[in-house]
Amino acid sequence: MGIFDALNTSVGGLQAQSFALQNISGNIANASTTGYKGIGTSFEDLIPDATTPSRQVAGGVTAFAQATITTQGTVSATTVATNMAINGDGFFSVQKASAVVDNVPVFTGVTDYTRRGDFQVNANGNLINGAGYYLMGVTVDPKTGNPTGNVPQVLQFQNNFIPAQSTTAIQYAANLPTTPKTPASSGAQAGTITAGGGINPADFASNPLPLGTPAPPVNASATGAARNNDNTTPAAITAATQLVGTASASSNDLATAITNGSSLTVDGKTITFSTGQTTSTTNASGNVTIGIGPGSTLTVQSVLSAIDGITGASTSSTVNGSGQLVLSTGTNQDLVISGTGNALAALGLSAGTTVRAAGTNPGTGIVTGNDLTAFTNESISGGAVTAFNAAGTPINVQLRWAKTDSASLGTGHQDTWNLFYQTSTTATGAQTAWVNTGTNFVFNANGSLASPAGSAISVPAVSVDGQVLGNLTFNIGAGTLTQFASTAGAATINNLTQNGFAAGQLQSVAINNSGIVVGTFSNGQNIDLAQVTLSHFNGTNYLKALDGGAYEVTDLSGPAIAGASGQISGSSLEGSNTDIADEFTKLIVTQQAYSANTKVITTANNMVQDLLNVLR
């Protein structure tokens, strides 16, 4: 080692500091570059070999680049829906076009990686960042939302078209009023289902209750003129069977009024009056024989109780204060009573007539054009939703609720509702206008839904004005259909949506915080189109930097590993991780070190000159 070695060492120092200066210059220049990762400088001393430590001298220096790829830059929000930033570990997979042929990019198939997320859609529907790299990801099935593969491909969203999807399910949530306010309720007789805001099947030519369902057993109020549930005046006991004063259930002895062998037929069961016995018996078939033999006493109430025994009535049939029969239909369908002999006449009825008591005909599950006025007056709106058939044709589905039973009517009654949908807006006469969905929605006293227990009901073969929707499912989540008091007396619709849509053309794309590319279509649908994938490396800082903030895999970095712990932030960008203040500090140190090396060269030069002067 000597003066010339010192000169060479100083030159090496100048080169090392120049290398550091170049990195500092590049970091400062890229302080505003999206996703830029600063490059630091690492100095390594070069010690010449020596036989003993005491003869070892300080050697030269060399500089190496030190990557800071793992250092996070600041994430800031942007107004561009396709911009992305990664919070934490991970890289976007990208490719760069090697050429463009007929305006279509050509790729070599080599995947690079970047954290620069300033992607925007170009004319071909590709997502390209500001450095010209094309984003890769996995496409998603628009119907299921599930990835269609696991190998990232260059994404393209051009002229994406989704076919129409027919409506198969309607999501419904609402509160029904405890006492509905219908046009008919204010003028209805107190104590009736109509006065309680409900629907009276007797007001309809076709019973609108679910198919085959009888009206619930309801007796009229004693206030005013007593009437049966079907709005007919109860039968009156005749003077011939009235013993004393105003008729009552126990003051009439029918034993001497009814002739032997007379009978009543109630819902297919026979009540026969026989002078051959003094007690009542019931055989295995459910037929009743009532004894009217010598010494027997038979009241009207005894006959009514026998009728109730056949029908299973929860509300007993009786005689009101005006001496009129008030019959209950029980759990059977319409109570129809016929008779032979003078049994009907003994009860104040004309011989050969048929008596219909509380109840109506079995439910047909429809509302005809003839019954539209009654139906509108005795039901409330349930909202409307636009559904779509298989061809994407919009169909307006109108809903109405009708209360069919009310707990306010007394023991054996429970708040019950039926849901209807409009099948024809032009129905007249016997044509079907509204269809009952066929389910009794029964509520507890606390307003919760008691039945149906499931969260969905099926409605088959739905059509509106000739447009076929097919089978629909009404999804009603737990606790979303309730019955609480409402001063308005109307239904409060909390959710009424459906899963169908018309065909649509892609209008725009955006990337959400889950890295999902979401397409907005002309039909108003937002459909998941692709999943942006992230990769990571075991040796991240050993990736080779490329132009535009991209990186290339090296042996030291290891291969890309699918998946990363980082999270994507939509409408955001990661800024440069360069710290200007830190770079300025390094700049000062580098400048001083560079100047010091020049001083060494000057000193060495003077020493060489002195050495040369020795020869003069």
Higher pLDDT, 504 or 355: 504
> Which whole number is the average pLDDT over 468-485?
94
Lowest mean pLDDT among 316-320, 364-368, 398-402: 316-320
Question: Domain containing 603: what range?
Answer: 3-72+576-614
Nearest to 255 by CA among 238, 225, 281, 277: 277
- How much is the pLDDT for 190? 80
85 and 97 Cβ atoms separated by less than 8 Å: no
Which tens digit of pLDDT belongs to each residue from 132-177?
999 999 998 877 778 888 899 999 987 788 889 999 999 999 999 9
Residue 425 has pLDDT above 70, yes or no: yes
Nearest to 193 by CA among 361, 400, 404: 404
Shared domain for 264 and 336, answered yes or no, is yes
In a domain, 205, yes or no: no
108: burial class by Cβ within 10 Å (0-12, 13-18, 19+)?
Answer: exposed
- Going by the DSSP 8-state scheme, the letter that residue 334 receives in this structure is S
Residue 577 amino acid letter:
N
What is the pLDDT confidence band of residue 237, given thresholds at 50, 70 and 90?
very low
Lowest mean pLDDT among 121-135, 140-154, 339-353, 468-482: 339-353
Residue 527 has pLDDT above 50, yes or no: yes
Does residue 147 have a cis peptide bond before it, meaning omega lies within 30 degrees of 0?
Answer: no
Dihedral, CA atoms, 38, 41, 42, 44, nearest 10 degrees? 160
> Which whole number is the average pLDDT over 184-194?
86
- How much is the pLDDT for 103? 82
Residues 6+ apart with CB under 8 A from 288: 269, 270, 271, 272, 280, 281, 282, 306, 309, 310
Residue 384 has pLDDT above 60, yes or no: yes
Distance of CA 398 to CAs 392, 419, 421, 434, Å? 18, 11, 6, 9
Shared domain for 492 and 593, answered yes or no, is no
The last residue of a domain, from among 475, 498, 521: 498
Shared domain for 253 and 342, answered yes or no, is yes
DSSP characters over 490-540: S-EEEEEEES-B--EEEEEEEE-TTSEEEEEETTS-EEEEEEE-EEE-TTG
- Going by the DSSP 8-state scheme, the letter that residue 342 receives in this structure is T
Residue 395 has pLDDT above 90, yes or no: yes
- How much is the pLDDT for 121? 94
Shared domain for 250 and 142, answered yes or no, is no
Shared domain for 37 and 150, answered yes or no, is no
Residues 6+ apart with CB under 8 A from 181: 197, 380, 488, 489, 490
Number of domains in the chain: 4
Long-range CB pairs of 344-349 (<8 Å, 24+ gap) are: 344/264, 345/238, 345/240, 346/240, 346/241, 346/254, 346/257, 346/258, 346/262, 347/235, 347/237, 347/241, 347/254, 347/300, 347/303, 348/235, 348/236, 348/237, 348/238, 348/241, 349/235
107: burial class by Cβ within 10 Å (0-12, 13-18, 19+)?
Answer: middle
In a domain, 208, yes or no: no
| Number of CB atoms found within 10 A of residue 552's CB | 13
The last residue of a domain, from among 320, 338, 359: 359
- How much is the pLDDT for 315? 63
- How much is the pLDDT for 336? 62
In a domain, 399, yes or no: yes
In a domain, 581, yes or no: yes
What's the CA gap between 358 and 269, in Å, rounded? 18
Shared domain for 223 and 353, answered yes or no, is yes
- The CATH number assigned to the domain holding 393 equals 2.60.98.20
Q: Does residue 259 sit in helix, strand or coil?
A: coil
In a domain, 211, yes or no: no
- Please identify which residue in the block is written with the tokens 């590049």: 26
Higher pLDDT, 607 or 222: 607
Shared domain for 415 and 451, answered yes or no, is yes
412 and 217 Cβ atoms separated by less than 8 Å: yes
Shared domain for 222 and 349, answered yes or no, is yes
Residue 499 has pLDDT above 70, yes or no: yes
Shared domain for 226 and 315, answered yes or no, is yes
Residues 6+ apart with CB under 8 A from 200: 192, 193, 194, 229, 231, 378
Residue 116 has pLDDT above 70, yes or no: yes
- How much is the pLDDT for 238? 43
Shared domain for 390 and 335, answered yes or no, is no
In a domain, 599, yes or no: yes
Higher pLDDT, 75 or 53: 75
- How much is the pLDDT for 219? 36
- How much is the pLDDT for 413? 85
- How much is the pLDDT for 329? 56
The last residue of a domain, from among 359, 381, 413: 359
Residue 343 has pLDDT above 90, yes or no: no
In a domain, 209, yes or no: no
Distance of CA 471 to CAs 164, 366, 422, 462, Å? 17, 17, 15, 6
542 and 557 Cβ atoms separated by less than 8 Å: yes
Shared domain for 67 and 89, answered yes or no, is no
Which tens digit of pLDDT belongs to each residue from 23-52?
999 899 999 899 999 998 988 888 776 677
Give exposure, 434-465, as e/b (b: 16+ Cβ within 10 Å).
Answer: bbbbbbbbbbeeeeebbeeeeeebebeebebe
Q: Does residue 5 sit in helix, strand or coil?
A: helix
- How much is the pLDDT for 616? 64
**Alpha helices, H only, 371-529:** 372-377
In a domain, 553, yes or no: yes
Q: Is the whole model's pTM more than 0.75, yes or no?
A: no
Shared domain for 231 and 304, answered yes or no, is yes
Higher pLDDT, 123 or 5: 123
